[in-house]
Structure 1
Amino acid sequence: MDKVKVLEKYLPPDAAPLIGRWIDYFKCEFKISRNRGTKFGDYRPPHGDKGHRISVNFDLNPYAFLVTTVHEFAHLHTWNEHKHKAKPHGTEWKLNFKRMMQPFFEKEVFPADIKRAIVSYLNNPAASSCSDLNLYRTLRKYDVPKESVITVEKLPIKAMFKLKDGRIFRKEEKLRKRYKCVEVSSQRVYLFSPVAEVELIPD
Structure 2
Amino acid sequence: MPPDAAPLIGRWIDHFKCEFKISRNRNSKFGDYRPPFGGKGHRISVNYDLNVYAFLVTTVHEFAHLHTWNQHQHKVKPHGTEWKENFKKMMQPFFEKDVFPADVKQAIVAYLSNPGASSCTDLNLYRSLRKYDAPKPDAVTVEKLPFKAVFKLKDGRVFRKEEQLRKRFKCIELATRRVYLFSPVAEVELVREAS
Taking structure 2 as the reference length, the TM-score comes to: 0.94
In 2, Cα distance between equivalents of 1:197 and 1:34: 18
3-state DSSP of counterpart to 2:190 = strand
Q: Pick one of 117, 139, 143 that aligns with 1:129.
A: 117
3-state DSSP of counterpart to 1:139 = helix
Percent of matched pairs sharing the same residue: 77
Shift of 1:92: 0.8
3-state DSSP of counterpart to 1:98 = helix
Shift of 1:144: 1.3
Matches within 5 A, 1:141-156: 141-156=131-146
User: Which residue of the partner structure matches residue 85 of structure 1?
Assistant: 75
Number of aligned positions between the proteins: 191
Q: Deviations over 1:5-55 (max 9, x none)?
A: xxxxxx111111111111111111111111111111111111111111111
| Unaligned segments of structure 2, at least 5 residues | none
Shift of 1:129: 2.4
Q: Pick one of 162, 167, 187 that aligns with 2:177.
A: 187
In 2, Cα distance between equivalents of 1:93 and 1:70: 11
4+ aligned runs moved over 4 Å, structure 1: none
Matches within 5 A, 1:106-121: 106-121=96-111
Which stretch shows the higher mean deviation, 72-81 or 45-54?
A: 45-54
Q: Deviations over 1:60-88 (max 9, x none)?
A: 00000000000000010001001111211
User: Which residue of the partner structure matches residue 18 of structure 1?
Assistant: 8
Taking structure 1 as the reference length, the TM-score comes to: 0.91
In 2, Cα distance between equivalents of 1:128 and 1:28: 23
